[in-house]
Chains A and B, each alone.
Chain A
Amino acid sequence: MVLSRSWQVVGHTVILLLCLAVLMPMAIVVATSFKPPNEVFRLQPIPADPTLRNYQEVFADRAFLIFLWNSAGTTVLRVGGQIFFAVLTAYAFARWRFPGHNLIFAAVLGAMMIPHQLTMIPIYILVAELNWFDTWQALIVPNLAMPFAVFLLRQHFLSFPRELFDAAEMDGAGPWTALWRVVLPNLKPALAAITIVLFIDCWNEYFWPLLVTETEASQTIQIGIRRYLEEDFADFGALMAGVTLASLPALAVFFMLQRRVMETFVGSGIKG
């Protein structure tokens, strides 16, 4: 559809303003991260005397590296677990009909309708009773079930040609071997996109780590950034460098598979 000339001018102008509103704060943050302390509060956007000092400071801070390590470790383990359990579940639903099939499928999808804030108090108490407070387990285990991933993966499994299952079984492969050797290698793009969405969701999470982390034993980068604020942190150049570094992993994985990730995001109901 081609709009008339006047609507095109209006459209481009307004959307460029929106893009500006989106990109400006990001540009200011990145520019500030290269400014020396005396320039941080100046309006001039480009640093007059660009420096890497802020980044050196951030990397010299042991706590910051520990926050990054906690975020990276818990995110990888949690997303790995989420994908693993979602694959098993989706495979069971796609491969077999069994008594209670529809009821159990409804129970799995129904869990999507129960948002985290309705279950947090008992889970918090459970975590405390298990003595998991301020550990990696507390961040990982309660979040391993991802019904939306089950839903999306099942769609992909159902579209998988049944002949290939049968061929695999003809060759003596059980369902387990068929899953890992035949099905998953053919679904790599879909798996990658779901993994990236889960990664971004987990990396950016704030609420749950806020409840169950206490020290550097488990505090993630998002909690760490907040902690700098609480400590009356005045070195804004370094803070902006830290914020930039904390945002890079999510942006990087997104740009690896941009188009597919956007489609998966739409299907996920996860909004940053």
Chain B
Amino acid sequence: MTVAHAPGSLVSPARRSRRGWWARTASDPRFAPWLYLAPMLLLLGVFTYWPFVHTFYLSLTEWNLNPDQPIEFAGIDNYDRLVGNTLFQAASYNTAIYIAASIPLKVLLPIPFAVFIWSLGRAGNLYRTIVFLPTLISFVVVSVVFLWLLNPLGGLIPSFFQQVFGWRIGNVLKDTSTAIWVILLLSTWKVIGFNILIYLAGLVSINRTYVEAMRMDGARDWTVFRRLIWPLLTPTTFFVLIYTVIFTIQQVFTPIDILTEGGPDSTTTNLFYMVYQYTFITFDVGLGAAGTVVLFLFLLAITLLKVRVLDRRVNYQQ
């Protein structure tokens, strides 16, 4: 062996020397990976990791987004103000409601639909596609359409209830007891087909011969579901649960902004919308950043929960 060029490259040194410096560097396994990685690392550094860390710094300062105004160091003052702030209290409370209501609506409700579609085999494809359609339509469009449908002055939904049942429906989006439920129902409408799809992906891994075996033993549908499908689907259910909890916080931003702007009386704002309100409506950057840090701690707690659950699953499989 006289050839001493880098492993992985079968181009002879003679041939290589005829190429330029750049071409040689770009195919040298010592340097090449870094050239390919550089743009992504730069982008992630500038637009993900640096802003992430910088948010912690901003949460300790006071600033109103005005470039002529100096950024002043304020210590933990913002956290102090945040905890005493009524908007923060309302947003925390509402976030809990959004999450609690999302579990039956977005995590559990899709399961029977997914199992039914799965039981149909190929014949279920049409159902699958139809329920998936709301995923493709922007939440702006969904919100604008429902704003029009729910309009108390001549909107089709109030008119329908008026003419068919004789019920009078007021402005559900201006009513503190109903507004949050409108947003929850819309976000369920938007995401249910997507979650059904995730459950279907989990169901595919269930061996259908188990089902046949249980049937041979005379098991009925409900028993097959309780004893076989539900336990085997548990990892998927946890996955959907964690993602729904994390995702609901961002997902409802659009309907909140278009339908209620956090109102009436702060009954629909959540932690994410609150950060937006602090930072971009009242220009209190420090308070917004402090809210972001609290939101981060909340998401971190959920992620750790996910790690624990997944660990347990691994142990279970062993």
Residues of A at the B interface (CB closer than 8 Å) are: 1-4, 7, 11, 14-15, 18-19, 21-23, 25-26, 28-29, 41, 43, 85-86, 88-89, 91-92, 95-96, 98, 104, 107-108, 111, 113-126, 128-129, 141-145, 147, 150, 166, 169-170, 172, 174-176, 200, 203-207, 210-211, 222, 225-226, 229, 236, 239-240, 243, 246-247, 250-251, 254, 258, 262-263, 265-266, 269, 271-272
Number of inter-chain CB pairs below 8 Å: 252
User: What residues of chain B lie closer than 8 Å to A118, measured between beta carbons?
Assistant: 52, 55, 292, 295-296, 299
User: What residues of chain A lie closer than 8 Å to B163, measured between beta carbons?
Assistant: 43
Given contacts A22-B189, A204-B138, A239-B148, 15 further A-B contacts (CB under 8 A): A1-B224, A14-B113, A19-B130, A22-B130, A111-B48, A117-B275, A118-B55, A124-B280, A126-B51, A206-B139, A246-B141, A250-B138, A263-B201, A271-B135, A272-B191
Q: List 24 A-B contacts (CB under 8 A).
A: A21-B189, A22-B133, A88-B39, A89-B39, A92-B37, A98-B30, A98-B34, A108-B41, A111-B44, A117-B249, A119-B47, A121-B55, A122-B50, A124-B279, A142-B47, A145-B47, A172-B11, A203-B138, A204-B138, A204-B140, A205-B138, A265-B197, A266-B201, A272-B137
- Given contact pairs A41-B156, A96-B32, A225-B141, A128 touches B67 in the complex (Cβ within 8 A): yes
The answer to whether A211 and B280 touch across the interface, beta carbons within 8 angstroms, is yes
- Given contact pairs A3-B221, A29-B145, A116-B250, A107 touches B136 in the complex (Cβ within 8 A): no
User: What residues of chain A lie closer than 8 Å to B46, measured between beta carbons?
Assistant: 126
The answer to whether A225 and B140 touch across the interface, beta carbons within 8 angstroms, is yes
Bound CA span A119–B272, Å: 12
Q: Does B116 contact A (CB under 8 A)?
A: yes
The answer to whether B253 and A111 touch across the interface, beta carbons within 8 angstroms, is no
Shortest CB–CB separation between residue A54 and chain B, in angstroms? 14
**In the complex, what residue of chain B is closest to A170 when comparing beta carbons?**
B10
Q: Does B160 contact A (CB under 8 A)?
A: yes
User: What residues of chain A lie closer than 8 Å to B133, measured between beta carbons?
Assistant: 22-23, 26, 251
A121, A225, A240, A250: the one within 8 Å of B136 (CB): A250
The answer to whether B144 and A229 touch across the interface, beta carbons within 8 angstroms, is yes
The answer to whether A123 and B138 touch across the interface, beta carbons within 8 angstroms, is no
Q: Does B246 contact A (CB under 8 A)?
A: yes
Shortest CB–CB separation between residue A162 and chain B, in angstroms? 10
Tell which of A85, A150, A170 has the most Cβ of chain B within 10 Å.
A85
Bound CA span A129–B127, Å: 49
Q: Does B117 contact A (CB under 8 A)?
A: yes
Shortest CB–CB separation between residue B203 and chain A, in angstroms? 10
A92, A111, A144, A172: the one within 8 Å of B33 (CB): A92
Shortest CB–CB separation between residue B102 and chain A, in angstroms? 12
The answer to whether B136 and A122 touch across the interface, beta carbons within 8 angstroms, is no
User: What residues of chain B lie closer than 8 Å to A3, measured between beta carbons?
Assistant: 116, 119, 221
Against A, the Cβ 8 Å flags (1 = close, 0 = not) of B272-285 are 10010001100001
Tell which of A23, A95, A119, A271 has the most Cβ of chain B within 10 Å.
A271
Against A, the Cβ 8 Å flags (1 = close, 0 = not) of B47-67 are 111111011001000000101
User: What residues of chain A lie closer than 8 Å to B190, measured between beta carbons?
Assistant: 272
The answer to whether A119 and B51 touch across the interface, beta carbons within 8 angstroms, is yes
Q: Does B245 contact A (CB under 8 A)?
A: no
User: What residues of chain B lie closer than 8 Å to A114, measured between beta carbons?
Assistant: 48-49, 52
Shortest CB–CB separation between residue B9 and chain A, in angstroms? 6
Bound CA span A125–B208, Å: 55
Bound CA span A186–B234, Å: 36
Task: In the complex, identify which listed stretch (B21-29, B80-88, B171-179) lies at the interface while the others stay far away.
Answer: B21-29
User: What residues of chain B lie closer than 8 Å to A210, measured between beta carbons?
Assistant: 257
Bound CA span A207–B49, Å: 20
The answer to whether A111 and B49 touch across the interface, beta carbons within 8 angstroms, is yes
Residues of B at the A interface (CB closer than 8 Å) are: 8-11, 15, 23, 26-27, 29-30, 32-34, 36-37, 39-41, 43-44, 46-52, 54-55, 58, 65, 67, 112-113, 116-119, 127-142, 144-149, 154, 156, 159-160, 163, 189-194, 197-198, 201, 208, 211-212, 220-221, 224, 243, 246-247, 249-251, 253-254, 257-258, 272, 275, 279-280, 285, 288-289, 292, 295-296, 299, 303
- Given contact pairs A95-B33, A121-B279, A271-B251, A18 touches B131 in the complex (Cβ within 8 A): yes
User: What residues of chain B lie closer than 8 Å to A22, measured between beta carbons?
Assistant: 130-131, 133-134, 189, 193
- Given contact pairs A226-B144, A262-B132, A145 touches B44 in the complex (Cβ within 8 A): yes
User: What residues of chain B lie closer than 8 Å to A28, measured between beta carbons?
Assistant: 145, 149, 156
A43, A120, A125, A243: the one within 8 Å of B145 (CB): A243
**In the complex, what residue of chain A is closest to B246 when comparing beta carbons?**
A115
User: What residues of chain B lie closer than 8 Å to A269, measured between beta carbons?
Assistant: 243
Tell which of A1, A141, A200 has the most Cβ of chain B within 10 Å.
A1
Tell which of A18, A126, A172, A272 has the most Cβ of chain B within 10 Å.
A272
